[in-house]
Structure 1
Amino acid sequence: MLRIHFTDADLLKTRVAATPDPLWEVAISLHRLQTRRGRWAHAHWHRTVRTRLCATGTERSLRGLLLPLVPRAAYFPDFLTPPEAGEGLAAGLEAVLATPAQRVRHEVGRLAPTGTHLRRLARLSEPEARRDLVRALRAYHDTAIAPQHDRIQARIDAERAARARAMLHSGIEGVLASLGPCLSWRSPVLHAVYPEDRDLHLNGRGLLLVPSYFNMGNPVALGDATLAPVLTYSLHHEPAPAALPADLRGSGTPLARLLGQTRATVLRLSAGGATNGELARAIGISASSVSHHTTTLCESGLILSQRHGASVLHTLTPLGAATLRANPE
């Protein structure tokens, strides 16, 4: 169990990341490759990623460097997920490259690799070996993560919409209480299912909550308690269509003619997150009519409908977001 201790100052400084963190997604997706847990949620990704990795020549560095460096265990080196990655992949990789050699030796030393892996990882404190690591991370990201960007961003947009509503209804404690079954809020401590027993005292630094597309189950925190506190946690996953139907791919036909005026309006309003009641008031139709339209859009894979308390929140899926982008009015 991980216990994260908050003060009043920490509650004021707690926030949810607005964009995917590319290096956290790299690290946690490497965990997905090492277990069958959660494979159903990423079935299409699992079917294609191995083929792409082999085709691009990334498989060798994956097995010889990345998987030993990010084992599916209680710890992997913190320097692989620097806060600069929140500004984009390039900034994150620059930070990895600039990590002091002493810190790299210390964090890699906490791993327990054997044989050739031990020798290769031990060299990561050297600048040239670190440059090889950065090249491997970039190649893996471009092959395994970048093709999923729209899907990941749409899911995080939906997550932020849900957390924003929790904030409006119940404040930051409502957000902390609504993060999923592996996290429970018992003021002033956030309890997380974790592979080891530890306490993390925020001491006024606040907490950055990072929703992760590839995380399944246990949240993940940095091992070094002196670093800026971060907690990645799992999104709610449901299978979604992998491709955009041909009749919605920028056909030039107004979206209202493709879906119907009311349904097109429901889709557009769902871009910012909306409940049945909000849709009914905005469009001027009954709640039962809204429910009919949202059910159709959900079954078509254009919106995601999730219950939050007494209401159902509708947000766009990657397919729905692509549909709006392809058919501007």
Structure 2
Amino acid sequence: MLTVHLNAIDLSRTVVRSRPAVMQELAAAGRRVTQADAPTYLAGWNARTRAALRPIMRPYLDLCRVPRWVPDFLTPAGWSSDFDAAVIDEVVNTPAALMREELQPMIEAGRLPARVGALAAGDQSARRQLRAAIVAFHDVAVAPYWTEITTAVHADRAARGTTMVEHGIDRVLHTLSSHLRWNASKLSYECPGGADVELAPAGHGVILVPSYLGIVPSFADVGGGPVAVCYPIERRPPDLAGRKPLADLLGRTRATVLTAVAGGRSTTEVAHEVGISAGSASQHTSVLRSAGLITTHRTGPAVRHSLTPLGLSLLEAGSS
């Protein structure tokens, strides 16, 4: 049993991320394709991804094959949404002692193949092969679906925000995941065959990280900061198909603006998120507001946009 103990200050500092964490999604994808019985909503994605697998991806997939376990170094605690050289470097350049500590017991128990031993020993060639595997697997398993994954995470976060406003944090934690149990001050996860683990943010709060491809919750506690809880979204579209129906309806840029607003954004933040000028972002949000898809409220010198129920429904339907 893993239990996170939350005090009143932790609850007041609990937040929900509005964007998916790319390395968490990639690790979840690796677990999905290396294990049987993919759920119905991922049947098409699973078939397409399996068909695209190549030998170059094996060093990464080797690390994802153990049920209900993945090496911590594959999922950096920074929870970055950007798949770039920095996040790949953080994984590949993990200190040799830490890699060995995580991998060697699994190799000796026969749960990981012996060829992983080179990586556990800190072999530089094995690290280069891991880097190439990460990039190649991301290209086929996550990159083509990133817009849909992001849209689903935005929608989940918006729904959590509505629950928070209408019912409070207690209801949010009660309904977070069927794998998690919330009881008074304890958020618990039953880990099959695992030892008892106790985590306490001690006033630093909790970061809730929605995951589209996640199978079960995962936790990160780096000490001196909030505890992160990555939980699988349970209201997902029927399947990942790389479709962009919102773009067909609204136009690509305006659909992306609507997606960006889902987490609650200022005009400047929308512009940064979408990669457009502030003036262009203002024009797009004006059109979306006139259509009844978003609302806008002034907070000091800035304005913040949020989805209306109609906008949220459209965003959710646009991923199905």
TM-score, normalized by length of structure 1?
A: 0.69
Which structure 1 segments of 5+ residues have no match? Answer: 54-58, 256-263, 280-302, 304-312, 322-329
Within 5 A, what are the aligned runs for 1:108-147?
Answer: 108-112=103-107, 113=111, 116-123=114-121, 125-147=122-144
Matched residue SS, 1:143: helix
Structure 1 residues 152-183: Cα deviation after superposition (integer angstroms, max 9, x where no partner): 01100101101111221233333212213222
1:130-168 CA distance string (max 9 Å, x none): 232122112211221000011101100101101111221
Q: Distance in 2 between matches of 1:246 and 1:152?
A: 14
The percentage of aligned residue pairs carrying the same residue is 28
Cα distance, 1:3 vs. partner?
Answer: 1.8
State the 1:80 CA deviation: 0.9
Q: Structure 2 CA distance, aligned partners of 1:97 and 1:210?
A: 23
Instruction: Give, as a single letter, the amino acid of the residue that structure 1 aligns with 2:198.
Output: L
Tell me, in whole angstroms, the C-alpha distance in 1 between the residues paired with 2:148 and 2:126.
33
Residue in 2 that maps onto 1:327: none
Tell me the distance in 2 between the aligned counterparts of 1:157 and 1:246. Answer: 14
Whether the 8 Å contact between 1:6 and 1:203 is mirrored in structure 2 is yes
CA contact (8 A) 2:5 2:198 kept: yes
Residue 69 of structure 2 corresponds to which residue in structure 1? 75
The residue aligned with 1:47 is 47
The Cα offsets for residues 282-313 of structure 1, whole Å up to 9 and x where unpaired, read as: xxxxxxxxxxxxxxxxxxxxx8xxxxxxxxx6
Q: Per the alignment, in what secondary structure is the counterpart of residue 317 of structure 1?
A: helix
Q: Is the 8 A contact 1:2 1:199 kept in 2?
A: yes
Cα deviation, 1:106-125, whole Å, max 9, x if unaligned, reads: 112242346542433423x2
Aligned to 1:186: 183
Distance in 2 between the 1:239 and 1:178 partners? Answer: 21
* Mapped contact 1:2–1:194 kept (Cα < 8 A): yes
The residue that corresponds to 2:214 in the other structure is 215
Residue 229 (structure 1) aligns with:
227
**Shift of the alpha carbon at 1:245?**
6.5
The alpha-carbon deviation at position 248 of structure 1 amounts to 3.6
- Alpha-carbon distance between aligned partners in 2 of 1:224 and 1:126, rounded to the nearest angstrom: 26
Q: Which moved more, 1:101-110 or 1:220-229?
A: 220-229
Matches within 5 A, 1:1-329: 1-53=1-53, 59-63=54-58, 65-90=59-84, 91-112=86-107, 113=111, 116-123=114-121, 125-195=122-192, 196-204=194-202, 205-216=204-215, 218-222=216-220, 229-235=227-233, 236-239=235-238, 242=241, 243-244=243-244, 248=248, 265=291, 268-269=293-294, 272-275=306-309, 314-317=313-316, 319=318
| Paired positions, count | 269
Two-structure CA RMSD over aligned residues (Å): 3.6
Q: 1:29 to 1:83 in 2, by over 3 A?
A: same
Structure 1, residues 170-219: CA drift from partner, whole Å, max 9, x if none?
33333212213222211100122432352332232422221111123x31
Q: CA deviation at 1:250?
A: 7.4
How far 1:128 moved relative to its partner?
Answer: 3.9
Query: Unpaired runs of 5+ in structure 2?
Result: 256-289, 296-304
State the Cα deviation string for residues 34-65 of structure 1 (Å, max 9, x = none): 33344311122112112233xxxxx21333x2
Distance 1:115 1:144, change over 3 A: closer
- TM-score normalised per structure 2: 0.71
* Cα offset, 1:31, TM superposition: 1.3
Distance 1:227 1:61 in 2: 37
Q: Is the 8 A contact 2:38 2:46 kept in 1?
A: no
Once the two structures are overlaid, the 10-residue window that deviates more, 186-195 or 137-146, is 186-195
How has the CA–CA distance of structure 1 residues 320 and 21 changed in structure 2, closer, same or farther, with 3 Å as cutoff? closer
Give the secondary structure class of the aligned counterpart of 1:314: helix
State the alpha-carbon separation in 1 of the partners of residues 28 and 103 from structure 2.
17
* Amino acid corresponding to residue 215 of structure 1 in structure 2: G
Distance 1:269 1:197, change over 3 A: same
